Structure 1
Amino acid sequence: MVAIVTVLFAFPLGFFLRNRLAAYVAYIAIFGYSFTFQTLYLLRAWVGDNHTAFSADPDKLPLSYLAVTGAIYLVGFLLITLGHRLGTKRRSRTNAVDLEATR
């Protein structure tokens, strides 16, 4: 779920918002909501004896889950930065045509 949210929102936030900080804050809010929902969904499955996301041992920390979601989080920030650079380049591009004949 967080991967889908990252792909759908990170680049467009960076591209369309002029303020990069606003894009980062919006992404943090969207990611935080979807991360909470995803964790709740996986935790409910774990309680119901589905151990594909988390280990069966409740004392073992889910470091692989932390690593994967952390990597997705960082990719989102990179996509925002890329989108912001491309959006700034597109907005600052001049559309004027030089009509003066060159000799």
Structure 2
Amino acid sequence: MELIVTVLLAFPLGLALRSRTAAYLTYIAVHSFVFTFQSLVLLRAWTGGDTSAFPADADTVPWSYGLVNAVIYAAGLGLVALGRRVRSRRAARPAQAADLAG
């Protein structure tokens, strides 16, 4: 769920929003909600006996879950930055008139 939102939202946010701060804060806000919701769903499944996301032992720290989510989060921030870079390059490029005489 988090990966899908990151792929679909991060780059367009960087590209569409005029303010860099607004683009990053919007991504952070959406990611925070999706991450919390995803964690809640996985935690509910874990309490029901599913150990695919978290270890069966409650005393074990799920480092792999944290690492994967940190990588997805960093990739999303990178996609926002890439969107910002594409936006600034498009804005810096002079508009070219179409040659209709052809």
Equivalence for 2:45: 45
Contact 1:10 1:80 in 2 (8 A): yes
Equivalence for 2:10: 10
Equivalence for 2:27: 27
Identity of aligned residues (%): 50
In structure 1, the gaps of 5 or more residues are none
**Structure 1 CA distance for aligned equivalents of residues 22 and 40 of structure 2:** 27
Cα shift readout 1:25-55 (whole Å, capped 9, x = no counterpart): 0000000000000000000100110000000
Deviation at 1:23, TM superposition (A): 0.5
- 2:34 is matched by which residue type in structure 1? S
Larger radius of gyration: 1
1:95 is the counterpart of 2:95: yes
Contact 1:18 1:88 in 2 (8 A): no
1:70 is the counterpart of 2:70: yes
Aligned residues: 98
**Structure 1 CA distance for aligned equivalents of residues 66 and 43 of structure 2:** 14
Q: If the length of structure 1 is used for normalisation, what is the TM-score?
A: 0.91
Deviation at 1:85, TM superposition (A): 0.5
| Runs of at least 4 residues off by over 3 Å | none
Question: Is the partner of 2:49 in helix, strand or coil?
Answer: coil
Q: If the length of structure 2 is used for normalisation, what is the TM-score?
A: 0.91
